[in-house]
């Protein structure tokens, strides 16, 4: 389900570079499922390897000494051996306090230096606005008028990007494993995340602060594209118009993807946070106050623009309004798509 969520747009958008490594988070490294696609990721991997070598030596050393003592000082078959009267040793205790302290200071300082780079965006960074909501990411590009994407972040290689993020409901966390970055997205304030991608590809974007029912579905895609293709790819991604040869239903499918509708509405009959689209059109539903409503064009349109107006019994208000985000043609296509889910 999530799998299809991730690869479907990739198939739909032929503009992606041919070097697309396939389904995220698959990697070219045999050691990791995780690609390193930013300068920060490469720097952190070095630090991470340093940590593992250090801790590997410490662990093997300690368990080795423990195992040796366990074998060497096993009690004889009968009775007990005389044991050592050793109770302490100041010099030894000083050494084994000082050595970890020394390495802790190195780890701390190294981590602090990399962290300061992570939180200091360069002044020439490109701005992107991110809004978290239950359960999708809205991504807006100020330089492309009216461009509002859902769960798709387009990024050029080698150009710093600065994301200014906020949430409209609860706390979310914006996590880009391929860049080794995350930052909480908090209602009522802005948080900032910046990066510079180094490798074209398609990478996952996930929510890492528990935010309710479909927390697991708050998964999106980061499309890293070469700089020379970026403007065209972004323009195409932002465009949401019915193609000449495209049926209303197919266009509606693209609108559904753009709206991030799939995190709450399935097409296979499974009921998640919202009703499934399967067999929805024409159905008679009971509202919380006991009255009934038929799911027709008007009801669907109203529910998209004013989700709170008529909530079917058994569901709660979780849906954001799409007023201002979808125009009449897009809503019409969306209705055609829902009609087709029989």
Report the alpha-carbon distance of residue 13 to residue 201 in Å, rounded: 13
Say how far apart CA 205 and CA 193 lie, in whole Å. Answer: 13
194: its two tokens: 């910046």
Q: Show the CA angle centred on residue 134, arms to residues 130 and 140, nearest 5°.
A: 20
Q: Which stretch binds another protein (CB under 8 A): 27-35, 141-149, 242-250, 275-283?
A: 27-35
Which CB sits closer to another protein, 122 or 284? 122
Q: How far is the CB of 247 from another protein (least distance, A)?
A: 30
> What is the C-alpha to C-alpha distance for residues 62 and 48, in angstroms, rounded to an integer?
21
Q: By CB under 8 A, what part of segment 43-62 binds another protein?
A: 43-44, 47-48, 51, 55, 58-59, 62
Smaller CB separation from another protein, 19 or 46 = 46
Question: In the set 74, 91, 145, 342, which binds another protein (CB under 8 A)?
Answer: 74
Q: Which of residues 131-160 bind another protein (CB under 8 A)?
A: none
- Beta carbons of 153 and 205 less than 8 angstroms apart: yes
Angle between helices 248-259 and 328-340 (to 10 degrees): 100
Residue 140 Cβ vs another protein, minimum distance, rounded to whole Å? 20
Core vs surface per residue 248-257: b (16+ CB within 10 A) or e: bbbbbbbbbb
Q: Residue 32, interface with another protein (CB under 8 A)?
A: yes
Which of the residues 157 through 186 are near another protein (CB under 8 A)?
169-171, 173, 175, 177-178, 180-184, 186
Binding another protein (rule: CB under 8 A), the pick from 70, 232, 288, 309 is 70
> Which CB atom, from 15 or from 107, has the smaller least distance to another protein?
107
């Amino acid at each position: 389900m999530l799998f299809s969520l991730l690869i479907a747009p990739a198939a739909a958008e032929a503009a992606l570079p041919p070097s697309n490594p396939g389904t995220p988070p698959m990697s070219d490294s045999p050691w990791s499922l995780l690609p390193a696609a930013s300068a920060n990721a490469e720097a952190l991997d070095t630090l991470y390897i340093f940590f593992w070598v250090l801790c590997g030596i410490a662990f093997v050393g300690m368990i080795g000494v423990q195992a040796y003592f366990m074998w060497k000082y096993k009690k004889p078959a009968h009775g007990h051996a005389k044991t050592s009267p050793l109770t302490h040793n100041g010099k030894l205790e000083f050494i084994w306090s000082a050595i970890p302290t020394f390495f802790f200071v190195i780890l701390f300082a190294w981590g602090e230096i990399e962290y300061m780079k992570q939180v200091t965006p360069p002044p020439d960074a490109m701005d992107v606005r991110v809004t978290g909501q239950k359960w999708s990411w809205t991504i807006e590009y100020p330089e492309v008028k009216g461009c509002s994407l859902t769960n798709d972040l387009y990024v050029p290689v080698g150009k710093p990007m600065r994301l200014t993020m906020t949430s409209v409901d609860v706390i979310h966390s914006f996590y880009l494993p391929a860049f080794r970055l995350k930052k909480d997205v908090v209602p009522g304030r802005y948080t900032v995340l910046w990066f510079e991608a180094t490798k074209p590809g398609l990478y996952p974007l996930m929510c890492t602060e528990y935010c309710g029912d479909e927390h697991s579905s708050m998964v999106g895609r980061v499309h890293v594209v070469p700089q020379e293709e970026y403007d065209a790819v972004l323009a195409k991604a932002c465009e949401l118009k019915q193609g000449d040869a495209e049926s209303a239903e197919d266009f509606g499918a693209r609108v559904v993807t753009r709206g991030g509708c799939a995190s709450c509405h399935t097409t296979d009959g499974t009921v998640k946070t919202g009703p499934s689209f399967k067999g929805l059109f024409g159905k008679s539903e009971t509202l919380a106050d006991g009255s009934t409503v038929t799911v027709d064009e008007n009801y669907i349109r109203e529910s998209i623009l004013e989700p709170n107006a008529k909530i079917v019994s058994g569901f709660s208000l979780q849906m954001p309004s799409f007023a201002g985000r979808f125009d009449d043609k897009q809503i019409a296509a969306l209705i055609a798509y829902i009609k087709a889910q029989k």
